[in-house]
Structure 1
Amino acid sequence: MQATRERLVRWEDPLSHLAGFEGMTGLQALQAIVEGRVPPPPIANLMDFTIVEVDQGRAVFEGLPGEHHYNPIGSVHGAFALALFDSAMSCAIHTLLDVGVGYTTTDVQVRFIRGISKDSGPIRCEGTALHVGRSTAVAEGKLYDGSRKLLGIGTTACAILRR
């Protein structure tokens, strides 16, 4: 086995597609990504994950861990899982936002239960919005391996950005 590996990441200019979201609710914008009408954000290509389901108050992301996600102790770095958590939980909130309303993550808390390796299979993170108010929102997430074993749980808070 070769010791050195190389990886090429391609993505589309994320700013060139912003106009395509004009007039869309958060749910409509995320559906456009799921359906392939709008390309995914570059972070999804970089970290090998994608949004696979959206509905009111719910977003599901799946990622495929590889050795390029490994940390120095031989397991997938927590940042891979954290990116899935942040994406699923914040997008669950996004599905409930009206046209022209944005958000930004202010806090993420995650509890890891099991480690992840390249053999864990597709990793699935299911985010559910718990509260969306005028200025803040809260969501929770659950992370599963390919056998539906629970890998971790998390919560997030987001600031709601109204124009």
Structure 2
Amino acid sequence: MTIMTTTDWTTQQTSAQQRSLAGGGKSGVAHIEQLTGKSGREILEAMMAGELPYPPMNETMNMALLEVNDGHAVFQGIPLMQHYNPLGTVHGGWFAALLDSAMGCAVQSTLPPGRSYTTAELSINIVRSATHNTGPLRAVGTVIHGGRQITTAQARVEDEKGKLYAHATTTCFVFDVTAG
């Protein structure tokens, strides 16, 4: 088993962001014509390669999609001072965004062309606080059940030593995409 350091994780996130930009990527929202005929996984891979825009919130939340496979997605974020709540720690919304992104992309990775999803329910447990000194945190999302209309997934947020910070489950509503 290879032990990764904070430097390795930070480098991995920076590389993912640079790979997207090198492919001509920028933040934004893809047009339906760009998505037509692509599976959920193909859409995510195109975002990672910079062929499709990546979500603007990735910049706001300082996070990136690192890997995707069928029913599996890994997001990483590095909390910053701009993500603080009034109590001096990272706001729960930052954790929610990281977890929802990992689980949502895990769900999306299983969808055929012409299908999409939206989060219907999100349940989060934050078990450890984080600060800007915590370093990179990684959310690994996996699909638990994939159905025609309802798909469930789970995710955990851990640091490079495997220390748990938060965990979550989601229920996503799956539907057909209609043009316009």
CA shift for structure 1 position 145? 2.0
Aligned match of 1:114? 128
Aligned in 2, Cα 1:18/1:111: closer, same or farther, shift over 3 Å?
A: same
Superimposed CA distance per residue, residues 1-60 of structure 1 (whole angstroms, 9 cap, x where no aligned partner): xxxxxxxxxx64424x44222210001101111222222111111111111100000011
Aligned match of 1:157? 171
Query: Residue 23 of structure 1 is aligned with which of 37, 40, 49?
Result: 37
Query: Residue 58 of structure 2 is aligned with which of 35, 44, 69?
Result: 44
Aligned match of 1:103? 117
Give the match's secondary structure for 2:44. helix
| Identity within the alignment, % | 36
Query: Are residue 129 (structure 1) and residue 143 (structure 2) matched?
Result: yes
Aligned in 2, Cα 1:66/1:146: closer, same or farther, shift over 3 Å?
A: farther
Aligned match of 1:71? 85
CA shift for structure 1 position 113? 1.1
Superimposed CA distance per residue, residues 91-122 of structure 1 (whole angstroms, 9 cap, x where no aligned partner): 10110000010100000001111111101111
CA shift for structure 1 position 148? 2.5
Query: Residue 80 of structure 1 is aligned with which of 94, 112, 120?
Result: 94
Corresponding letter in the other structure for 2:174:
I
Aligned in 2, Cα 1:123/1:39: closer, same or farther, shift over 3 Å?
A: same
Aligned in 2, Cα 1:86/1:159: closer, same or farther, shift over 3 Å?
A: same
Distance in 2, matches of 1:25 and 1:154, equals: 25
Corresponding letter in the other structure for 1:38:
L
Query: Are residue 92 (structure 1) and residue 106 (structure 2) matched?
Result: yes
Distance in 1, matches of 2:87 and 2:110, equals: 39
Contact 1:40 1:50 in 2 (8 A): no
Corresponding letter in the other structure for 1:124:
R
- Root-mean-square deviation (Å): 1.3
Corresponding letter in the other structure for 2:111:
L
Superimposed CA distance per residue, residues 61-101 of structure 1 (whole angstroms, 9 cap, x where no aligned partner): 01110111010000000100100111100110110000010
Q: Give the aligned length.
A: 152
TM-score with structure 1 setting the length: 0.88
* Greater than 6 Å deviation, 4+ residue runs: none
Distance in 2, matches of 1:71 and 1:146, equals: 24
Query: Residue 76 of structure 2 is aligned with which of 47, 62, 66?
Result: 62
Aligned match of 1:14? 29
Structure number with the higher helix fraction is 2
CA shift for structure 1 position 139? 0.1
